[in-house]
Structure 1
């Protein structure tokens, strides 16, 4: 139950970040709502393809060090994919390359800052619910 709530909360956090950035940049709830719906769908469609390609690349690693380097490259590539999608959705929605660029930069920054806070909250909650940590 907690895992489902955590995953749902992660999805909501991603959607909220996309909406808030788009609304802040455009001032339009309609465009913010469209970004909230369109961007995650595009990412959900592209990520399995991305993961499959990188799985094959990781499998060809000759040693542990090379495998870790490929994992790091995969994460950079995944971030770039998200940035490209954010750019494309915002540029298409607004007709502005500047707004697209702004979204491409702001969304990953917000995700890097806010999602670890989100994850720490859920880790603490899971520990409390398991009885490992006493509630204050």
Structure 2
């Protein structure tokens, strides 16, 4: 498994735990907290993966913007 995917999975686990805890404290409902904890972090995890790819170099959007600004 690539470093990016491993880091993404680790972040997802942490985010699920935090999301569930915060939602449960605010709602007092296991069902609502579970739903929030599954939907929001999973969407955020996908966004994080692509964010990491863009920042890691190569031909990501940040490298392209930098190349055009200084090229």
Same structural fold, with TM-score higher than 0.5 when normalized by the shorter chain: yes
Larger RCO (CA within 8 A; separation ≥ 6): 2
The offset of 1:75, in angstroms, is 5.0
* Distance in 2 between residues matched to 1:113 and 1:78, nearest whole Å: 11
* Structure 2 residue 68 is the aligned partner of structure 1 residue 131: yes
The offset of 1:124, in angstroms, is 2.0
Larger Rg: 1
Point out where structure 2 has 5 or more consecutive residues left out of the alignment.
55-59
Q: Tell me: CA distance 1:124–1:78, structure 2 relative to 1, closer, same or farther (3 Å).
A: closer
Aligned match of 2:22 = 89
SS of 1:131's equivalent in the other structure is helix
Point out where structure 1 has 5 or more consecutive residues left out of the alignment.
1-67
Aligned match of 1:113 = 46
Describe how 1:1-136 pairs up with structure 2 within 5 A.
72=6, 76-115=9-48, 116=50, 120=54, 123-131=60-68
The offset of 1:114, in angstroms, is 3.2
Q: Tell me: CA distance 1:82–1:126, structure 2 relative to 1, closer, same or farther (3 Å).
A: same
The offset of 1:126, in angstroms, is 3.6
- Aligned residue pairs: how many? 61
The offset of 1:90, in angstroms, is 0.4
